[in-house]
Amino acid sequence: MPRASTKTELISAANDQWNKMWKLIDSIPGGAHSIVFNFGDDPKLKEAHWKRDKNVRDVLIHLYEWHQLLSKWTAANLDGKDKPFLPEPYNWKTYGDMNVEFFKKHQSTPYDESASMLRDSHENVMALIDSFNDEELFEKKHFSWTGTSNLGSYCISVTASHYDWAMKKIKQHDRTSKRI
């Protein structure tokens, strides 16, 4: 899938990946709320998230919290408040620690609530994306607060790319579970 470079492509990619993700989640025998991830001992799965996320709820919460990052960051900066994308004390070298905090924060959040929260936040993020034009989304440095990047790159990362990440996780669990 080529990376979106227009608002139309971004919205289409985000919604396509969103729909594929939910189709996959809905196809889980016994229901997504009941599975516990099993990734085995595959040495290729080195990233921390393979150990962090234990079930679909954890993945949904991760997506929800990243939607919140985008929404709050955009709203604050459009309101004239200079706010970095990642909240203090995190940066791009330590954001893994932030993801762990998201995980811990939601361990008592029920699966159904996490799904509802994510559905609402997806709608909000899609409305946010729709409120911008192509130049605002894809022109580098259009907004000073996006640094050397563009707003569209953040939106892609938080939607289509993150939904793809979620599907890879769920599919990896499925492959690993069948081998065991």
For the chain, what are the domain ranges? 7-26+60-179
Q: Give the three-class secondary structure for 11.
A: helix
Question: Is residue 12 over pLDDT 50?
Answer: yes
Angle in degrees, 0-180, between the axes of helices 7-26 and 160-179, rounded to the nearest 10:
30
Model confidence at 53, pLDDT cuts 50, 70, 90, reads confident
* Top-level class of domain 7-26+60-179: mainly alpha
pLDDT, position 37? 77
Closest alpha carbon to 147 in 94, 55, 63, 77:
77
Q: What is the pTM of this model?
A: 0.93
CA angle 55, 61, 64 (to 5 degrees): 150
Q: How much is the CA Rg of the chain, to the nearest whole Å?
A: 17
Question: Is residue 175 over pLDDT 80?
Answer: no
